[in-house]
Amino acid sequence: MTPPPTTAGEQLTIDFDPATTRVQAAARSARDAAFAELVTTQTVTVADARAHDLYYQLDDDDTITVWICPACGTWEANEMLLANNHGIDRHYLVQWPNSEWANDGAYYGRRWCVALDLTANHATYADGHLHSRQLAMLAQLRPDVRERYEHEVRNRPHRRPVGRSARPAT
């Protein structure tokens, strides 16, 4: 069921242009099917979710659904967190020229995500210290994703922060 239109102009378009409405509905259906194929959901126990750093106020043997990033394999509690933490959002999916579905703009999809991008940045700043969660994420990467991660880290400029003590006195 499609949501109701939000403006009078949209209402008129829907009422008087059924062909366009059908095309838009077909495009939404294709996008939603691509998202369902791209992003895996899994029903797990709350205890399993806690082992993956997800916290729920439920009993250990209760079951929940988690969303799994197709690039880094990290579990998220819901679709909104997947979009926020990994950059993969059903509303911005487009089919790229190579027929792969990924987000419009910066590529976030099966081979790369925001979490990997941030981790690559962290690895190039200062001494390159990574959090234990980042190290765990890197340890479970597929070989093709790990290769891209290593390439990104190798080719980014290694920046050193400039602290107050390093600035010249004024």
Q: What are the residue boundaries of the structural domains of the chain, listed by start?
A: 12-159
Give pLDDT, residue 167: 46
Interatomic CA distance for residues 163 and 104, integer angstroms: 37
The residue type found at 66 is V
Closest Cα partner for 65 from 88, 47, 42, 45? Answer: 42
45-59, 81-95, 130-144: least confidently modelled range: 45-59
Interatomic CA distance for residues 154 and 134, integer angstroms: 17
Q: How confident is the model at residue 58 (pLDDT cuts 50, 70, 90)?
A: confident
Q: How confident is the model at residue 120 (pLDDT cuts 50, 70, 90)?
A: very high
Interatomic CA distance for residues 135 and 4, integer angstroms: 45
Whether the CB-CB separation of 64 and 49 falls below 8 Å is answered with: yes
